[in-house]
Structure 1
Amino acid sequence: MKYGRRFAVTCRAGAAGIALTAAATHAAAQGTESPSSAHGFEEIIVTATKRAESLQDVPISVAVISGNMINELGLSRFEDLQSTIPNVQIDNSLGAPSIFIRGMGSGASNFSFEQSVGLFVDGVYSGRSRFFTVPLFDVAQVEIVRGPQGALFGRNTNAGAVSITTAKPTDERFISLRGGYEVLYDGYFLEGIASGPLSDTFGVRVAGTVNREGGYLRNHATGKREPVTDTWYLRGTAVWKPSDGFSATLRVEGGKVDQDGGVFQLFNRGTAALADLWFATDPNAEDNLDLNRSVIPLLPEFDDTDTLNGSLTIEIPLGDHTLTSITAAGGVNNLKSVEYTGTSLQIAASTLGENFDQWSQEVRLSSPTGGAFEYILGVLYTRHKLKTLQESEFNNFGPFTGVSTRTYHERDRAISPFLSATWSPIEQLTLIGGLRYTDEVKRGRTSHVASGVIFPTYLPYSYSGRRHEKHFTPSLTVQYKPSRELMLYALYATGTKAGGFLSNDATLQARILAGTNDYEFEEETAKSYEVGVKATLFGGKGLLNVAAFQTDFDDLQVSNFNGDFFITNNAAKARSKGIEADFRANVAEGVTLGLSGAYLDGKFREYPNGPCIDVTPNPDCSALQTQDLGGYRLQRAPKWTGSANLDVRRPIGSDLAFGGTLNVNYKSKYYGGQNLSEYDAEKAFAKINARLAIGASDDRWQVAVVGRNLTNKLTKNWSFPTPAFGGNAHTTSISQPRMITIEAQTRF
């Protein structure tokens, strides 16, 4: 029985050449690693085209991170991934996580938005960005696929896809324990794994984690450390292989992420009268970007998320063909309360909620491999239900003392048949075509009610709508291999994301009456052109991958908060173009170097009704507080990003081994919000992560010290104009500061 062969190889390859995954290597999503390679590296096998193929042979741009590297660099959260991958931004916004690839993403200001970057776990689509809050642990590898993936992955992948392959049961029984203590902010984690066969045909794997992130902000108004985040998560996987070619894999996982305390602080006072009031009444008031806040919330601040997901994957041999069925169901529930001014004035707070359930069924038929013509034919059916809540409470905010409640209900179903075909007319040349048709029906119902004294623009409303959309998303790739060491490719890919309805805008009715807004927003489409080269160098000791791309978006779905209300609409046209390059080499025995970098030019080509640039005075800002942003740079799109990784593995005598990993990542200046405010902009910065370890040469035990953000660089995570303050007052949350963790692990 060979349940865990590929995962076991993933761990060995990660330990031997971790810089492979740190450099953003080009490949396709959802892969594992095979036990040998003619290139001198452990070969990575990927299945983006739903076939098992070598990374260096697959013509798609993707960053691959092994489960081993995730452990080594202490990457416990999805947003940690951006520290090693160019052209990727994952941040926790005011509402939910927001994901941008190559400067493209939807943001999270409008709660009904589906992301332009799709999340897939073992091939199953997870339909809400809130799923990005679950912990990263016991995974074989994570792949981030760049660019539209409509034909391969389906809808809602206009900017790319994040694909997770979880670890599977192993051939041999083992139990492992891994734990650590974060010494600066009193955090800890404990992970346990039990895996192995129960019979010749049946194997199981159970993995669980308990984690606490200590509060790194000092709230001087309360004397507390904030936010303190407690997480527990459990995953069980069972694999049954009664005969050759047949397998059934059941995965069930779920857990809780509970955050106590807040994250926002006022970092720019400006000329706001309310900010002056705060400074006059709070001796701890300050507007520096630091690890201090002085906040007495109107309502207790928290952010609690529960998730539960499961899938059953069955593979059945039909002669030379393979029939694959993936049945999945799951959901996420979230409730949070946030004090978004970052002050102790106790004038306002918001309670946000989300309840989401989904179900999907995919069936596909794969032809045999090795011939001149191969194909995969399949169909995917999904449905979901979504409920969201935003309740804003005002307390003696001038004349305003009341509550504004916005609720949204949505039902969605989509069916998408697809075909992928590969033809090799000659040995060196391969043509790959893909086509997916999507038929989607979405129903939405939004309402707003208010009590007490509320802003005059907070008018009550109730709207409902139905959208029925049909889309074709083709792709075409030409691949040429003049030699075993060189592969060239050119591709055309498309993507689409359905339109929808505004969900949580208190001023929607006022702006509809003024003729400046609609209840619905339109579908978003993308098309991309990419050329690339993958080369093996130095007799197999080095790899170099380079890709140049251009992606055009039509009707890009955007939503931005301008300090008074949300502007949610479709930006007419946007373009993202640039170059990505990745290099890795075995520079000496046990020493691997990885370098990756990207240049990105992302701009709005047309955006006549965008939010006003936050400058005073702004002669281009209309009386309706909109501005033509054509020619302006996209948000969260740094021009330059890069990562350097050095990995050292050396024996110490016959029984011990030393390991060291150094990671440096860089980003040039970028804008944190779509109003392109210089206050919300993040200047160029570099962060350093490192790990030193010593352990048994047979991996039975190990102790390590892991440092993240060693230079203690403080950067803004999510920034916006402080609600209702005006006067260029701005609020932000910051990313984690320096973290030092002592770890130990054992396996028996």
Structure 2
Amino acid sequence: MGVSSKLTLLVGASLLAMPAMAQTAAEPAAEAASAAEIDTAEDIIVTAQRREQRLQDVPISIAVVSGEALQDRAIQNFEQLAPLIPNLTIAKTPAANLIVLRGIGSSAGSPSLDQSVVMFVDGIYSGNARQFAAPFLDIERLEVLRGPQGALVGRNTSAGAINILTRKPGDELGGYVLGDYNFTFEGVSLEGAVDLPVTDNFAIRTTGRYADTDGYIYNPLVDQDQPTRKEAIGRITGVWEGEGVTTTFKYEHADVDIEGSPVQVFAPTNNEFRDYVKSARLTTGPEYDNIVTNNAVLQLDIEMGGPTLTAITGYSQFKNRNLIDADFFAGNFATADFDQDFKQVSQEIRLTSPTGGPIEYSAGAYYSDANLDEERTTGVLFAPVASTFRAFNQEDKAFSLFGQLTWVASEALRVNASGRWTHQNKTADYLRLGGAQAAVARTGAVQADFSGKTTDSRFDPAASVQFYANRNSMFYASFGKGSKSAGFQGAISNASPATFEYLPERSTAFEGGARLSFPGTGYLNLAAFHTTYKDLQVSAGISVPGSLAAIFFTGNAPEARIAGLEAEFLFRQSQMFQVDGSLAWLPTAKYVDFTAGPCYALQPSNGTLPGTCNQTGQRLGFTPKFSGSVNGTVKAPVSSDLQVKATISPGFQTGNFRDFTNDPVARQDGWLKLDARLSLGSIDDGWELALVGRNLTNKLTNAYSNTAGLANTFLNPAARVTVVDAPRNISVQARYKF
């Protein structure tokens, strides 16, 4: 940490010096254009409505992050992305990744649950958070679509969607190499891409990444900073442009090996605190979380004398092996496996009209077939006979028809209507075995063996009106419904035939907003929203002292409601200074009706069902009332061909619960964190050296908490498991483009 502290002082001193440099520098002779010649709103193109549009023409609350911005901030995984987007939370949990938007998301109780915030990578639906191990590698941009998006974007997007587009090959030989060394994590990452034009109409882009880094949680029992991470990723993308037909194919393989876990136990009376130290060890070897993914896409775009026919075929597969210390401390009482094998094939066909006429349309069909095999064990080491093995298999088939119609009434008025009809069929089998060999050999006495089947058909409509006061001022109002399919509890230890299935989730959303452009200066986008959820799907760990199994609540909250305001802005005073960011106000985020919800550790049961707690009127977890992220960038020349650039990025949240039970122990106080970047490079952006600092204020914050399962039995009935965010960390970057 000594090196990190010195580098922190260097970054801070350099940033303080930058405004003075900007004021005294000579006029930039090499500036490509004046500020008046750059329209920063026109430069941003998105595909939030399945066609390329200006950001300022989209009637959706949307945050856009470019691939270059992610590289500049050294963002390499979802947990690092979340602070950039207000109202978005992404955290590592014992079983899976937790993704929450505006307080709505799939809890991490079972990794088999469909996400409420769905990720799409190059048009491929990713309902399982593990499908893409490297979602931010060499991407063009990332779009976060807030609120229900089921009508046009895709199924199960009851809370929102994250749309990621990877970079396509260029028509000239070129590429980049980017190296990053993190002094805090004592690790290196190296990535690069090359464009290879094979013929005049065929080009290939190859992309690769290798990383080997340590973690930020020190485990004295193994004398190691954990979790360590090694990853090797490769991707090849090809584009062939024929006579009226464009063919795009992509294949990506990722192999990620993680040793150790950031999950630690919190029990102050037992000297277990939220900090960067975790004392845990398995006699059988280290904790690990290893995943191998394979993803492929084939897209055809066929010009049909006006409309374009698009066909997207997708294949997504992963294998995950995850072993954790299930007591989460040095006791070495229990282990747990979370193993998943997943395959998905999908096909989408879409017909899209050209723009510019009085009527614009998009219509299509989608089909997917996904299979998930999940195996979980709980090994009780001091009482092997209490061990269990659970197997869960789910077949998920979905078919949908969707369309959007836009009436361009005049230059000032546009009316949009869209809808999606979805038919989904899920079947699942559950098996639980118990006994001394259950966790080791995965054999034993049958404790439970049952199946389930659910069929669900639903229609999600949406409508919006857009009014243009002029080209640079658009106002909109929208209504939409979203949904999430019914499902099954997965391979949890307390699944039963009576509770195996949970109900589908429904949402009704109203939104109004303004998109204001200031040519040559920037933009200001505002959105006000109100969304009601019926049968909100909730899953959370619950404490049962004395139990030798990890128990989960999985069910539906009859009604929840969220409402608030969001703002996205960018202002460029000149080529030398820019400020951009996002702000959010979430005054309402609560359970309107939830009389039989989960209880936190040692909470007296007061719900309408035995062992439940009444959460009616309680605030949803992961919902700070105020949150935001701002970037201020200063750029100044130091010679005819060199420039320095400095960015300072404060981010903040007010206090909020970091769980789904309103546990007072899981409440995180408000915080302010500071990121920064200082670089020296060529004015033509051919090369750059940079120093990057994250969490320079070194705030210790709680990313996720839950009841501690087996630690409540073995260590302390009041124990919780928790994951803390990374401490201050400094890295150096080197980038070369050719």
Same fold, TM-score > 0.5, yes or no? yes
Superposition deviation, residue 717 in structure 1: 2.5
Give 3-state SS (helix, strand or coil) of 2:130's partner.
helix
For residue 197 of structure 1, what is the aligned residue in structure 2? 197
Superposition deviation, residue 38 in structure 1: 6.9
Following the alignment from structure 2 to structure 1, what is the Cα–Cα distance between the partners of residues 388 and 40? 62
Counterpart check, 1:607 vs 2:587: no
Give CA-to-partner distance per residue, 1:662-720, whole Å, 9 cap, x none. 11111111112112111112111122111111012222221111111112212222222
2:479 aligned residue (492, 495, 500): 492
For residue 523 of structure 2, what is the aligned residue in structure 1? 543
Moved more, 83-92 or 37-46: 37-46
CA contact (8 A) 1:459 1:507 kept: no
1:379 aligned residue (340, 365, 380): 365
Give 3-state SS (helix, strand or coil) of 1:238's partner.
strand
Counterpart check, 1:708 vs 2:694: yes
Superposition deviation, residue 250 in structure 1: 0.5
Superposition deviation, residue 623 in structure 1: 7.9
For residue 387 of structure 2, what is the aligned residue in structure 1? 403
For residue 421 of structure 2, what is the aligned residue in structure 1? 437
CA contact (8 A) 1:266 1:730 kept: yes
For residue 27 of structure 1, what is the aligned residue in structure 2? none
For residue 536 of structure 2, what is the aligned residue in structure 1? 556
Letter in structure 2 aligned against 1:289: R
2:635 aligned residue (649, 665, 683): 649
For residue 152 of structure 1, what is the aligned residue in structure 2? 152
Following the alignment from structure 1 to structure 2, what is the Cα–Cα distance between the partners of residues 408 and 56? 45
Following the alignment from structure 2 to structure 1, what is the Cα–Cα distance between the partners of residues 310 and 436? 57
Structure 1 residues 298 and 159, CA gap change in structure 2 (3 angstroms)? farther
Structure 1 residues 623 and 417, CA gap change in structure 2 (3 angstroms)? closer
Give 3-state SS (helix, strand or coil) of 1:626's partner.
coil
CA contact (8 A) 1:269 1:730 kept: no
Following the alignment from structure 1 to structure 2, what is the Cα–Cα distance between the partners of residues 483 and 723? 58
Give 3-state SS (helix, strand or coil) of 2:664's partner.
coil
For residue 120 of structure 1, what is the aligned residue in structure 2? 120
Residues 282-681 of structure 1 mapped to structure 2, 5 A cutoff: 286-299=271-284, 300-396=286-382, 401-452=385-436, 460-509=447-496, 518-537=499-518, 540-564=520-544, 565-600=551-586, 601-614=588-601, 618=604, 620=606, 624-681=610-667
Following the alignment from structure 1 to structure 2, what is the Cα–Cα distance between the partners of residues 628 and 237? 52
Letter in structure 1 aligned against 2:596: N
Give CA-to-partner distance per residue, 1:243-284, whole Å, 9 cap, x none. 3x42100011111111012222222245xxxx5xxxxxxxxx
Structure 1 residues 348 and 37, CA gap change in structure 2 (3 angstroms)? farther
Superposition deviation, residue 485 in structure 1: 2.1
CA contact (8 A) 2:182 2:732 kept: yes
Superposition deviation, residue 526 in structure 1: 1.0
Give CA-to-partner distance per residue, 1:343-383, whole Å, 9 cap, x none. 11110110111111000111111223211111111101111
CA contact (8 A) 1:402 1:453 kept: no
CA contact (8 A) 2:608 2:614 kept: no
CA contact (8 A) 2:601 2:719 kept: no
Superposition deviation, residue 627 in structure 1: 1.3
Residues 179-190 of structure 1 mapped to structure 2, 5 A cutoff: 179-190=179-190
Give CA-to-partner distance per residue, 1:594-613, whole Å, 9 cap, x none. 14211112101111210125
In the TM superposition, structure 1's runs of 4+ consecutive aligned residues that sit over 3 Å from their partners are 35-42, 399-402, 452-455, 613-616
Counterpart check, 1:728 vs 2:715: no
Superposition deviation, residue 132 in structure 1: 5.3
Structure 1 residues 484 and 182, CA gap change in structure 2 (3 angstroms)? same
Letter in structure 2 aligned against 1:47: T
For residue 252 of structure 1, what is the aligned residue in structure 2? 251
Give CA-to-partner distance per residue, 1:15-71, whole Å, 9 cap, x none. xxxxxxxxxxxxxxxxxxxx9987355521122222221111111111100011001
Cα root mean square deviation, aligned: 2.1
Letter in structure 1 aligned against 2:94: L
For residue 742 of structure 1, what is the aligned residue in structure 2? 732
Following the alignment from structure 2 to structure 1, what is the Cα–Cα distance between the partners of residues 645 and 38? 25
Structure 1 residues 131 and 648, CA gap change in structure 2 (3 angstroms)? farther
- Name the % identity: 34
Structure 1 residues 37 and 94, CA gap change in structure 2 (3 angstroms)? farther
Letter in structure 2 aligned against 1:504: A
Superposition deviation, residue 225 in structure 1: 2.0
Give 3-state SS (helix, strand or coil) of 1:39's partner.
coil
For residue 264 of structure 1, what is the aligned residue in structure 2? 263
Following the alignment from structure 1 to structure 2, what is the Cα–Cα distance between the partners of residues 433 and 135? 31
Following the alignment from structure 1 to structure 2, what is the Cα–Cα distance between the partners of residues 560 and 40? 43
CA contact (8 A) 2:681 2:689 kept: yes
Give 3-state SS (helix, strand or coil) of 1:648's partner.
strand
Following the alignment from structure 1 to structure 2, what is the Cα–Cα distance between the partners of residues 320 and 731? 57
Moved more, 591-600 or 471-480: 591-600
For residue 13 of structure 1, what is the aligned residue in structure 2? none
Structure 1 residues 534 and 460, CA gap change in structure 2 (3 angstroms)? same
Letter in structure 1 aligned against 2:530: Q
CA contact (8 A) 1:429 1:480 kept: yes
Superposition deviation, residue 162 in structure 1: 0.5
Letter in structure 2 aligned against 1:594: D
CA contact (8 A) 2:596 2:608 kept: no
CA contact (8 A) 2:645 2:679 kept: yes
Following the alignment from structure 2 to structure 1, what is the Cα–Cα distance between the partners of residues 420 and 376? 36
For residue 15 of structure 1, what is the aligned residue in structure 2? none
Letter in structure 2 aligned against 1:668: T
Give 3-state SS (helix, strand or coil) of 2:156's partner.
coil
Give CA-to-partner distance per residue, 1:273-313, whole Å, 9 cap, x none. xx5xxxxxxxxxx3222111211225430000111001011
Give CA-to-partner distance per residue, 1:513-553, whole Å, 9 cap, x none. xxxx522111111111000011124x541311111001111
Question: Tell me, which stretches of 5 or more residues in structure 2 are unaligned?
Answer: 1-34, 440-444, 545-550
Give 3-state SS (helix, strand or coil) of 2:399's partner.
strand
Which TM-score applies when normalising by structure 2? Answer: 0.90
Following the alignment from structure 1 to structure 2, what is the Cα–Cα distance between the partners of residues 503 and 603? 27
Following the alignment from structure 2 to structure 1, what is the Cα–Cα distance between the partners of residues 554 and 148? 22
Superposition deviation, residue 445 in structure 1: 0.6
CA contact (8 A) 1:603 1:633 kept: yes
Superposition deviation, residue 186 in structure 1: 1.0
Letter in structure 1 aligned against 2:186: D
Give 3-state SS (helix, strand or coil) of 2:332's partner.
coil
Which TM-score applies when normalising by structure 1? Answer: 0.89
Aligned pairs, number: 687
Following the alignment from structure 1 to structure 2, what is the Cα–Cα distance between the partners of residues 486 and 418? 29
Structure 1 residues 37 and 118, CA gap change in structure 2 (3 angstroms)? farther
Following the alignment from structure 1 to structure 2, what is the Cα–Cα distance between the partners of residues 413 and 211? 36
Question: Tell me, which stretches of 5 or more residues in structure 1 are unaligned?
Answer: 1-34, 276-285
Following the alignment from structure 1 to structure 2, what is the Cα–Cα distance between the partners of residues 56 and 607? 39
Give CA-to-partner distance per residue, 1:611-653, whole Å, 9 cap, x none. 125465x473678220121110111111111111111222221
CA contact (8 A) 1:402 1:451 kept: yes
Give CA-to-partner distance per residue, 1:434-459, whole Å, 9 cap, x none. 0111111111111111113999xx98
Give CA-to-partner distance per residue, 1:198-250, whole Å, 9 cap, x none. 1110111001000122122221122222111111111111000123x421000
Give 3-state SS (helix, strand or coil) of 1:129's partner.
coil
